[in-house]
Structure 1
Amino acid sequence: MGSKAPSWSDQWGNGGFGSEHYDLEDEKMKKSSGSNKKMAAGMDKAKAAAIVGADKAKTAAVVGAQKLKGGTSAGIKWVKNQYQKRTSK
């Protein structure tokens, strides 16, 4: 049962770990790490701004929910009082 078909590595080439092509790509990534640090610093600032914005949005949502709850409660009490005034006559 000997197969004369090419092996997996023959079919897909040799671009994996240890190959010259892979090593060159790795060196390019190391050289460009300076710009990556600047990008990371920018991302940290953006992340901090997003967290502050999310906290503000959460606070606004909580305050809005409390106002809605209070207004609904007052409205229900008003309707209840109006109903009691009509039925008590």
Structure 2
Amino acid sequence: MGSQGNSWADQWGSQNDVVEEDFGKKGKSSGKKMEKVSAVASASFGKAKSAAAVGADKAKAAAVVGAKKVKSGTSSGFNWIKDKCQKK
């Protein structure tokens, strides 16, 4: 199986020089594009950050309410057990 055909390195190895040359040429002209992409990404990040903050606040509020319910339920459960044990 390994001896049949060219290996991956044989097929794609000669392309490396072309890719490096193309990358060098594109690097200079794509700087402006990267600035635009960076600006759009930072604006999107700001929106995502504010949405996450709102979501975190909602989650925190729900956790606090849930913790209060658990605490009051536990307290009433212990009081119920205490009342049942004292009647005997």
TM-score, normalised by the number of residues in structure 1: 0.63
Q: How many residues align?
A: 74
Q: Secondary structure at the match of 2:48?
A: helix
Picking from 21, 28, 31, the partner of 1:33 is 31
Q: Relative contact order: is structure 1 or structure 2 higher (C-alpha 8 Å, sep ≥ 6)?
A: 1
**Which runs of 5 or more residues in structure 2 are unaligned?**
1-12
Is the deviation greater in 67-76 or in 27-36? 27-36
Picking from 56, 59, 66, the partner of 1:58 is 56
Is the deviation greater in 44-53 or in 26-35? 26-35
Structure 1 residue 26 displacement after superposition: 2.0
Q: Give the fraction of aligned pairs with identical amino acids, expressed as a percent.
A: 18
Tell me: CA distance 1:81–1:23, structure 2 relative to 1, closer, same or farther (3 Å).
same
Q: CA RMSD in A?
A: 2.4
User: Which entry has the higher C-alpha Rg, 1 or 2?
Assistant: 1
Greater helix proportion: 2
| CA distance in structure 2 between the partners assigned to 1:44 and 1:84 by the alignment | 59
